[in-house]
Chain A
């Protein structure tokens, strides 16, 4: 009797777990799966984030906040997770500037001139990128206009006096996560195509965490005391390309623009 009692207990517990699992929000199930996932390591012992990654939520590159559709902008939910309302905490005068940017976006978005997109924007544009790791550097090679970022994980500090489109990236490994401190930005890039902007005081802390064999959680905390009342945070999921013939190719904006103008062949 005791065996069948145990059996029925196990069966009951399994049933309970199943029904409990089914009743949980998807998010809770995901975090359970994440807790069980063991991040693979490179031969050098680093968490292995290598591979070709791309977002599926392609509307974030148009507008990182909750938005209805507009001409050229598909609708989408906010990727801003802090503050909880999903809104970027602009200072009042900065919000006015953002509205102005939105109106003038075709001309004012430097992306439309084939310029470098800046960070974090380049992460959630609808182009793949490939991550490579060595002990001293993590390299991200983006298909979009052959941008690349060398993330120093060799203990070096930021340089001073730079104003770079994609910023200066210094990283370290924190458990299973790659944490990247990005500063030395200029004030010429936006967060999206809707005019969400920053000053040259922008400071971004990115966190890349593999959450499953084919998913990479990307989080970025964004500070800019000239534009925002408080730091805010975005979170978006990247998916790994597992197609065996997939490659990072080239998207050469400037060359295509010349071609379209009938200029340099």
Chain B
């Protein structure tokens, strides 16, 4: 997937040029060829060998799941969606790729089994039309938050916090966040539509189950026009597998767009870099980020701890 990811960065940059929108802070492409799982590199690890974080070590399984004083599993730390068949670029099966932008991949949809979004006919035509004519409408090019579920598999990872009665997630990308109360409160009224929706959670054993409604229709599932309506309803399940791994599942309903719900699955991997911190990510402010990457990672910054 290395080359595909690289091609996709180029794709995103091309798109931003087309849209005359600010170009995102894309990190330097990972070095080609020598990484684990890459050509000439050591064998792939469980996630295909792609590092959970750029420049970080490949993902390794951790120890037994630990629990906090409140009895819930401790999922705090920095996480990133593992190589999930290029889902951030195209969520559904893309057996021939979306050339010239990027190559084939399976996406992250496990139900239906063919991996395709079960669109109603008119919606399928609209998604194709968006791909062919309106890629400049890609919401993140306009510095919008990514919505649910896409927020979970954007690049650069996220941090999980577990203060009492909440799970809170923050992303470097677009400085997005999600606040998930787990105190049993109801959803807000349906007429309030939000980019990130309204999420309420509860625990089923070690699994965090999150129900999200109130989503607006201004985000996509990926970068190639796969879209949803404001009737989208998402149920996510976060199940810790070990200290370094979470199984993520999301079931998506959208009666205005889909013939039936679909389900996606992906692995979330924890960063093993104990000094990892999120950087500030400007978007509409202009790309200030490249210089924040250290010189050894291709940036201009001489960042060091005092």
Q: Mark A residues whose CB is within 8 Å of B.
A: 42-43, 50, 110, 113-116, 130, 132-134, 137, 139, 141, 146-148, 150, 152, 156-166, 186, 188, 245, 247-250, 252, 254-255, 258, 263-265
Contact = CB atoms under 8 A, between A and B. Distances in A.
B280 interface: yes
Given A133-B163, A150-B159, A160-B302, A139 B196 contact: no
A163 B194 contact: no
B284 A250 contact: no
B306 A264 contact: no
28 contacts: A42-B164, A50-B163, A115-B282, A134-B163, A139-B170, A146-B177, A146-B196, A147-B175, A150-B159, A150-B278, A159-B277, A160-B304, A161-B292, A162-B279, A162-B292, A162-B301, A163-B288, A165-B285, A166-B280, A247-B188, A250-B194, A250-B195, A254-B143, A254-B144, A255-B218, A258-B142, A263-B142, A264-B139
B208 interface: no
A132 B284 contact: no
Interface size class of B (residues with CB under 8 A): 35 or more
B218 A265 contact: yes
A150 B177 CA distance: 11
Contact of B168 (A132, A160, A165): A132
Nearest to A189: B285
Contacts of A250: 145, 194-196
Contacts of B137: 264-265
B192 interface: yes
A168 B195 CA distance: 27
A161 B303 contact: yes
A263 B143 CA distance: 13
Nearest to B142: A264
Interface of B: 69-70, 76, 137, 139, 142-145, 159, 161-164, 166, 168, 170, 174-177, 179, 188, 192, 194-196, 198, 218, 277-280, 282, 284-285, 288, 292, 301-306
Contacts of B139: 264
A159 B176 contact: no
B145 A146 contact: yes
Among A139, A146, A162, A263, max chain B CB count under 10 A is at: A146
A135 B288 CA distance: 31
B192 A139 contact: no
Given A156-B305, A264-B142, 15 more contacts: A50-B164, A130-B179, A134-B162, A139-B163, A146-B145, A150-B159, A156-B277, A160-B305, A161-B301, A161-B302, A161-B303, A165-B285, A166-B280, A249-B188, A254-B284
Nearest to A253: B284
A113 B22 CA distance: 13
Given A139-B161, A158-B306, A250-B196, A150 B179 contact: no
A159 B142 contact: no
Contact of B175 (A43, A148, A160): A148
Contacts of A148: 170, 175, 177
Contact of B303 (A133, A162, A265): A162
Contacts of A255: 142, 144, 195, 218
A253 to B, nearest CB: 8
A252 B284 contact: no
A159 B285 contact: no
B288 A249 contact: no
A7 B280 CA distance: 65
Nearest to B143: A254
Contacts of B166: 132
B300 to A, nearest CB: 9
Contacts of B278: 150
Contacts of B282: 115-116, 165
A258 B282 CA distance: 18
Contacts of B303: 159-162
A146 B164 contact: no
A50 B166 CA distance: 11
Nearest to A132: B163
A160 B145 CA distance: 28
